[in-house]
Amino acid sequence: MPEPAGALDGIRVLDLSRFIAGPLCAQILGDLGADVIKVERPGGEDARGLGPFLDGESLYVATYNRNKRAITVDTRHPDGVALLADLVTRCDVLVENYRPGTMAAMGLSHERLAELNPRLVVVSLSGFGQDGPMAGRALFDAIAQAMSGLMSRTGRAEDPPLPAGTFVADHLTGVYGALGAVTALHHRTSTGRGQVVDVASLDALFSCLGTTSVAAANGVAPAERTGSRDPLSGPANTFPTSDGWIYLHAGTDPLFPRLCEAMGRPSLADGTWRDVAGRMADIEAVEAEVSAWTRELSTDEVSALLDAQRIPFGPVLTVDEAAALPQLAARGMLVEGGHSVLGSITQLGMPAKLSDAPGTVRRGVPAVGEHTGEVLTELLGLDDAGVEKLRAAGAV
């Protein structure tokens, strides 16, 4: 049976982005069926030199660039910019994550793009957004974590602020970009007009702080950092076992007595610890009792006892242990995909599962400029001689 058409089948995306946020945004659209044309400078984007590496090939690039056709264009060459302008007229979405003002300097401002293609959806991803006093500044993921307040909330009160263990701002920005793109495409069906989707990493990450952001905006001071301890109820924390660590959440009033049963200490649920307020007022002592129990047992033994009492828990796994989880395998979160050099590599699956038009891996990770001739011939009607003339001029 042939694979079902993706939900975005028939949509063409011009991906002018690099690194994480933009490429991830475009890849999500590609996973959902869009034809994504990735544009790199001749020789390839800087990210192709970033690790980790597998047999000399960048897994950084492989993680964010499947389901794309790759072409090379010199955006500083007049003929290269003219090519991009022609491609814009044949695309539905353009994704870019240059610093604000760069596209305009290239001759492709938002206004010019709208003139070229009034139906075009432009997804502009940046550190601080397209306006505001900081719009012109560059930003890396850790800077968003620092300035959003997230870093000040991560770690223990006695330790320095810590960044998260991954590029959370970049990933969240890419997901918001993809959400904005499909929303703008839906809006276009009724209006016939495209629009600009402006996503800032700082905005995206600040929104991720949720109630903490809202509390601060209303003058409510946040509690001090508590490490992995839940600040609202307890016990809900990471606890040592005889062979590792486990996170458990028994902080609600119905859950705590069940934890006490699992511990063989039902009387702990009586007295001042019977409700959240009483436990939080004495949380160090509560956690000391739980730690004394967990550290005498293996992670598997604690897991079995917690599972029997229907208490939410999770062993603290390394990334390679997480990758081996049967649950992730059952959910299709690790899939085999093609690679222009390696042949086949294991890639991340699509988290959003659509029942009728699921995301698929149709194209592998392309080599630099692998589809330049194909795209210019198919979309712009150039013949081989025309493509070679552009190559000789250095435009592609």
Catalytic residues: 170
Q: Which domains does the chain have, with CATH numbers?
A: 12-209+327-393 (3.40.50.10540), 236-240+245-315 (3.30.1540.10)
Of 116, 205, 201, 114, nearest to 153 (Cα)?
A: 205
Q: What is the mean pLDDT of residues 303-314?
A: 98
* pLDDT score for 352: 95
- 128-163 burial, b if ≥16 CB within 10 A, otherwise e? bbeeeeebeeebebebbbbbbbbbbbbbeeeeeebb
Determine what percent of the chain is predicted with pLDDT higher than 70: 99
| CB-based burial label for 113 (10 Å; 0-12, 13-18, 19+) | buried
- 328-354 burial, b if ≥16 CB within 10 A, otherwise e? eeeeebeeebbbeeeeebebbbbeeee
DSSP state of 158: T
Confidence of residue 221 (pLDDT cuts 50, 70, 90): confident
- The pLDDT tens digits for 317-376 are 999 999 999 999 999 999 999 999 999 999 999 999 999 999 999 999 999 999 999 999
- The pLDDT tens digits for 106-117 are 999 999 999 999
Of 2, 12, 1, nearest to 37 (Cα)?
A: 12
- The pLDDT tens digits for 276-299 are 999 999 999 999 999 999 999 999
**Is residue 1 scored above 50 in pLDDT?**
no
* pLDDT score for 3: 58
The length of the chain is: 396
- The pLDDT tens digits for 240-280 are 999 999 999 999 999 999 999 999 999 999 999 999 999 99
Q: What is the mean pLDDT of residues 364-389?
A: 96
> Cβ of 47: how many Cβ atoms within 10 Å?
18
Rounded-to-integer distance, Cα 278 and Cα 269, Å: 11
Amino acid identity, residue 210? Answer: G
Please write down the long-range contacts of 350-353, taking CB distance under 8 Å and 24 or more positions apart.
350/28, 350/31, 350/32
**Is residue 57 scored above 70 in pLDDT?**
yes
Global confidence as pTM:
0.95
Rounded-to-integer distance, Cα 267 and Cα 251, Å: 16
**Is residue 223 scored above 90 in pLDDT?**
no
Rounded-to-integer distance, Cα 390 and Cα 387, Å: 5
* pLDDT score for 4: 61
Q: How far is CA 73 from the centre of its chain?
A: 27
Poorest-pLDDT segment among 61-75, 167-181, 217-231 = 217-231
- The pLDDT tens digits for 186-210 are 999 999 999 999 999 999 999 999 9
Reading the block at residue 189, the tokens are: 């069906």
* pLDDT score for 307: 98
